[in-house]
Structure 1
């Protein structure tokens, strides 16, 4: 009896999954690379986490860090160009001219612009894999402190999250996030490219913390843009309103926590350290002065001076 119930539940789950993939998804993208099932993307994401948290550090354990200066410059330049192209595709699709910021349904037709938008969404999905190399390079350079919880969660989740967007809503309201994200990445990878040029350029890169602030602003805008659909009548899947909105909440929390740890608390610690050192110097100076004054007052310091002068005369 229990086995029969379990089989019935399993059959219903499988039937619901097949119905979702065959009838509820966008049929235009079903034969595109990695779009037939979420399992390959999930496997790639899990492999990424295994590499950067287990296999990579183990591989580098007894090796010297790689320099990779030229590789980093060219990689970040590629990411800047790729992000510029993706941002342009989001503008061509309709943002800032034909798209509505209030409510923008998905165009599932075979209209050339609608198909171009869907292809742009797929390339944005693909860009989440190229971003894995950010972490791979950290591991090869043995900068393990950069492979933080925020970094791994952000890069590990994004391909899976975007896969659902391409599979079910490749266009319309959800592409607002991609448009903002590619704009932020243009600035971010430009910063990393300049930083890779060396100390002669790095001294001018005082604006790193503002990149994190920009990313936090991005998530606030995505949150507001997504959840506004809960209060208006719009032909857009409510499930994806929650999907995108909750991602924005998660990433805002992670990035704000990183900002506090990396900049606010670090700044307070540095100020406290400077104050402690200054107080120590003042205390030491005061103690020296008191000791000297005390020596002259009880005659010991004057006696020491007389003894040294007598010794010098005797040696002559």
Structure 2
């Protein structure tokens, strides 16, 4: 036990010596263990405790809660995007090489604050999953979803602790922009079936997420080939995160859209053979009131089902909802 405590003390000393002193006293910044504990608690709640507590309860509707939450996330993401721009990316940062300014320069301090708030936003995103559980949409709490939400606070913590500014903040810049669009979609979806006609772009939102990770990969890994005063360890840290999420999202995209598209074509051919055509909406065959293009989406499907339930009382034919 004494050896373990000594190891923890040595680790904490390393954190204090190597960490940015500007953030060392900030909330949750002194040690990685509180953040790790919160992330592990999140996984336990959404995968074990939450489903168990909801097992014999009716699902909550939460329509007004979802509208308020998504509206908040749009505003929060827009503010974070603005802060990233005004703290450097619109004023003086270089997309090719941007070292970290560890001084007390007002712009540098502003970026440090933006980094911390971006870290905090990863906790507010936990509510995406909590709402799935409360609405008994446990099938939406996929491995991809939990991995993405569960590790992001821990990943961002290291950035705020050691490199709050400079090259790595491009990740936050582009991610907050994507979230403005993403949570706007959720907001429209939560507002009711009258907005369904404006939600044809769900598939492209997933593709936009993958483009985001490609941009982050290219931006991070370019520092492996040019001389820049930026820690190479964080180049690999950020770049490999982008690689991992790109392949996870790409695999999901192929399963959710391409495979369903092929199934839809086979089903249409079969129906034509039987001279029993399904109704058509926006060029896609419809089963039980749902378009084949409305396959489950990592982020989107749980929000859209609020208004889709009013279109049909039966579950998705492909079994994804």
2:24 corresponds to which of 15, 27, 30: 30
TM-score w.r.t. the length of structure 2 is: 0.83
Q: Secondary structure at the match of 1:99?
A: coil
Quick one: distance in 1 between partners of 2:14 and 2:209? Answer: 33
Q: What is the CA distance between 1:16 and its match in structure 2?
A: 5.5
Max Rg structure: 1
Does the aligned pair in 1 maintain the 2:88–2:107 contact within 8 Å? no
TM-score w.r.t. the length of structure 1 is: 0.84
Q: Secondary structure at the match of 1:108?
A: coil
Q: Flag as ranges the 4+ runs of structure 1 deviating above 6 A.
A: none
Q: What is the CA distance between 1:45 and its match in structure 2?
A: 0.4
Q: What is the CA distance between 1:275 and its match in structure 2?
A: 1.4
Structure 2 residue ranges without an equivalent (≥5): 277-321
The residue number in structure 2 matching 1:174 is 168
Q: How many residues align?
A: 276
The residue number in structure 1 matching 2:142 is 148
- Give deviations 1:90-131, integer Å, cap 9, x for gaps: 001111331001110111111121111101100000000000
Quick one: distance in 2 between partners of 1:204 and 1:63? Answer: 33
Q: What is the CA distance between 1:13 and its match in structure 2?
A: 5.3
Structure 1 residue ranges without an equivalent (≥5): 1-5, 283-316
Quick one: distance in 2 between partners of 1:196 and 1:218? Answer: 25
Quick one: distance in 1 between partners of 2:190 and 2:151? Answer: 26
Quick one: distance in 1 between partners of 2:50 and 2:270? Answer: 40
The residue number in structure 2 matching 1:291 is none
The residue number in structure 2 matching 1:114 is 108
2:87 corresponds to which of 63, 78, 93: 93
Quick one: distance in 1 between partners of 2:268 and 2:49? Answer: 40
The residue number in structure 2 matching 1:309 is none
1:213 corresponds to which of 199, 207, 211: 207
Structure number having the greater helix percentage: 1
1:131 corresponds to which of 125, 138, 154: 125
Quick one: distance in 2 between partners of 1:103 and 1:161? Answer: 21
1:256 corresponds to which of 250, 259, 263: 250
Q: 1:15/1:237 Cα in 2 relative to 1: closer, same or farther (>3 Å)? A: farther
Q: 1:231/1:82 Cα in 2 relative to 1: closer, same or farther (>3 Å)? A: same
Quick one: distance in 1 between partners of 2:132 and 2:265? Answer: 29
